Structure 1
Amino acid sequence: MLRSTGTRSLLKCYSRPLSARTSYSATSLKSRSLVPLRQLNNRRPQVASSLSRSTISSLLYATKSSTPVDKIDRESEKIYAQQKLESHPESVSTQSSVRHVLEGSKKEHKEDEMMGSLKDDIKTMKDTFGLKDVPREPLLLGIAGVLPYAVTSLGTVFLAYDLNHTNSTGIELFFSRETAQYLLDMMLPIQIGYGAVIISFLGAIHWGLEYAGYGGHSHRRFAYGVIAPAVAWPTLLMPHEYALITQFLAFIFQYFTDVQATVRGWCPPWYSTYRFVLTFFVGASLVLSLVGRGQLEQSTLRVKHGSDAADHDHDAKWQALEREEIERRAAAETAAQEDGADDEVEESEDGKEGADKSDEKK
């Protein structure tokens, strides 16, 4: 009986050593959740149940929504829906609610809301003009680039005020009329020329970012660098007022272009805020120059541009010299005519005296 097949298999089962069960770990779970590579590469159709599934995905399918424990009584709900709520004013007091504890009074809430919105606006302005994210070197160079605009704008307003004061009162305040007019004629061309350089430089920044491959490559950025100088440099040939207005619009348009480039990832994230602050101060300077230019009276406003100023002065001088020469010649002719008349009178008198003497001798 001990040599039968059943008893031998039973003895072999007891004679084998029991192997310890492997502990669960993150590595084992990860390896179990992975699909074997041979199953992915196998082109034969397989049963979905044969593929191993991750533990998390299997848990998602394990839970199912069960029916509610309490059954919904539709009849009772219809009855409650048709009933009207009864009011009991005698049982209501100011302390019967927790609303005043949680929300407080309406006046304090409005004041807090108003002060909160004001504080948020102030914080937004601080964050905008704070420029905390802008690197130090671009920030210093940008501030240095705005200073010439501020100097020329304030100088234009000051000289315009000086000229108006001199023309209205006849008393020279700080400069003489000729000196103030000369400095004013120098301020605006300097500002317009400097603005053309800055606009061209802002367009060239996109070329540099394109060459560096910042945010990928897009040939549209080359167009930004070409349009900017094409708009900036012709302003040197315009009258001063039109040139300032054109450059103001060019700065605004270029700011919106830089904002779009920043949104697309073509510029650093801080570049849009940086450009907003600089464009704000530059635009204010241009408007201030236009205001100072408009303060001048039409009698003192001489629109000069480039070599036209020198030509205008040269023509005025020649006209003055020509008038003086005409007056001098007229005076000389009048004097010559008077001298000729005197000579004729003297000759006639001499002739009469000679005739009288000859008569006496006879």
Structure 2
Amino acid sequence: MLYRTTAARSVLRAVSSSNASVARSSLVNPVFKAQLTSSARHAVRPSVKSSFALAAHKPVTTALVRHSSSSSKDGEDVDMMAGMKSEAKVIKDTFSLAEVPKEALYLGMAGVIPYLATSLETVYLSYEINRAAALGDGLIFSGQSAELMLHMLEPVQVGYGAVILSFLGAVHWGLEWAGYGGKFGYKRYAAGVIAPAVAWPTLLFPTEYALITQFLAFTFLYYNDARAAAVGRAPHWYGMYRFVLTFVVGASIVATLIGREQIQQTVTTEHTITDKVKALLFLQKKEKEEADARRKAEIEEAE
């Protein structure tokens, strides 16, 4: 009896101490709780029994819960921050242009400015045309002025896109002449030939079809350039460099198409290549008829 009472008091002192370790608390609690319960069953009144058991059990449970929740929370925060930092570093390294030569980076970024500018101007002029159609006048330009400026921008954007596509194809000719990664012959020359062969016919297409075709051509050339960089036929930084530039150009084309879609029913369409060909054939037919009529008149006069 004396031994059990002494052991119970030792348990209370151990579990009430805030500096006691969780491991010792978890070990002491189940061992002495049975002794405490057995002793209280014979010698302690019922009211004292319940309060005594609660006092012995609650501090240990609370300490365990607090330590477990705080330690796991701290561990999760540490792991989460480490994971986020690692992912941010991976993203930064993936899209890094640090290895791109500065001259190529600056000139490449400057090269997409005309494309981006014409795209933004197209979106703004589309807004002016819609405003003029709805309210009778535009914000800065009249509806007719905005439409005329829009038609002036169309060949600029399409023509500049054709120039850039041709230039991107010519890069592979330069790599072949330099022997970068080895000699590949016609396989590498083909990229330089296909690019202008696709780009320049777009000058004859209606604007929307020309922009869509150039968007697909830019995407295909990016895939080809990224693959060439991956297998060593181009500098290793060339793939990411081309991705950034292609993204700007592609976004510009999409913005232009969206802007033109908003005025599809408002602006007067230009003459398509089909209309121009029909007009040319009609003019030739008319000139031939006039020439035949003159010859016939001359014959009649001679007779």
For the aligned pair, the TM-score class normalised by the smaller chain equals: 0.5 to 0.7
Deviations 1:218-265 (A, max 9, x none): 121111111111111121121111111111111111111111111111
Structure 1 residue 89 displacement after superposition:
8.0
Indicate the RMSD between aligned Cα atoms, in angstroms. 3.2
Residues 115 and 157 of structure 2 are in contact (CA less than 8 Å); yes or no, is this contact kept in structure 1? yes
For the pair 1:200 / 2:166, whether they are aligned, the reply is yes
Out of 251, 255, 263, the residue aligned to residue 222 of structure 2 is: 255
| One of 204, 209, 228 as aligned partner of 1:237 | 204
C-alpha separation in 1, matches of 2:140 and 2:31: 84
Return the TM-score normalized by structure 2. 0.65
1:179, 1:262 → 2: CA distance? 46
Q: How much does 1:122 deviate?
A: 3.5
Contact 2:133–2:266, Cα closer than 8 Å, also in 1: no
Aligned pairs, number: 222
C-alpha distance 168-105 of structure 1, shift in aligned 2 (>3 A): same
Counting only pairs closer than 5 Å after superposition, residues 24-43 of structure 1 correspond to structure 2 as: none
Q: Give the letter aligned to residue 176 of structure 2.
A: E
Q: Does 1:90 align with 2:57?
A: no
**Whole-angstrom CA distance in 2 between matches of 1:191 and 1:170:** 28
* Deviation string, structure 1 residues 12-55 (Cα, Å, up to 9, x no partner): xxxxxxxxxxxxxxxxxxxxxxxxxxxxxxxxxxxxxxxxxxxx
Structure 1: distance between partners of 2:150 and 2:158: 13
Shift of 1:147: 0.3
Distance in 2 (CA, whole Å) between partners of 1:121 and 1:281 is 24
Query: Between Structure 1 and Structure 2, which shows a larger proportion of helix residues?
Result: 2
Match for 1:158: what amino acid?
Answer: Y
Rounded Cα–Cα distance in structure 2 between residues aligned with 1:254 and 1:88: 72
Aligned pairs (5 A) from 1:285-296 = 285-296=252-263
Q: Residue 176 of structure 1: CA displacement?
A: 1.7
d(CA) in 2 for partners of 1:104 and 1:217? Answer: 63
1:159–1:180 contact (8 Å) kept in structure 2: yes
Counterpart position of 1:298: 265
Of 111, 129, 136 in structure 2, the residue corresponding to residue 163 of structure 1 is: 129
> 1:212 maps to which residue?
178
Hey, what does 1:139 align to over in structure 2? 105
Shift in Å, 1:110: 3.5
* Residues 109 and 302 of structure 1, relative CA distance in 2, 3 Å threshold: farther
1:244–1:91 CA distance, 2 compared to 1 (3 A): farther
Matched, 1:274 2:241: yes
Contact 1:156-1:293 at 8 Å conserved across structures: yes
Partner residue in 2 for 1:177: 143
Cα distance, 1:144 vs. partner?
1.0
Q: Are residues 133 and 249 of structure 1, via their aligned partners in 2, closer, same or farther at CA, if it must alter by over 3 Å?
A: same
Instruction: State the 1:300 CA deviation.
Output: 2.4
Which amino acid counterpart does residue 105 of structure 1 have in structure 2?
Answer: S
Shift of 1:118: 3.6
Distance in 2 of aligned mates of 1:301 and 1:124? 50
Which one has a bigger Cα radius of gyration?
1
Cα displacement (A) at 1:295: 1.4
In 2, Cα distance between the equivalents of 1:259 and 1:229? 19
Kindly indicate whether the alpha-carbon contact (under 8 Å) linking 1:164 and 1:297 is maintained by their aligned counterparts in 2: no
* 5+ residue gaps, structure 2: 1-26, 33-59, 280-303
Alignment of 1:312-323 (within 5 A): none
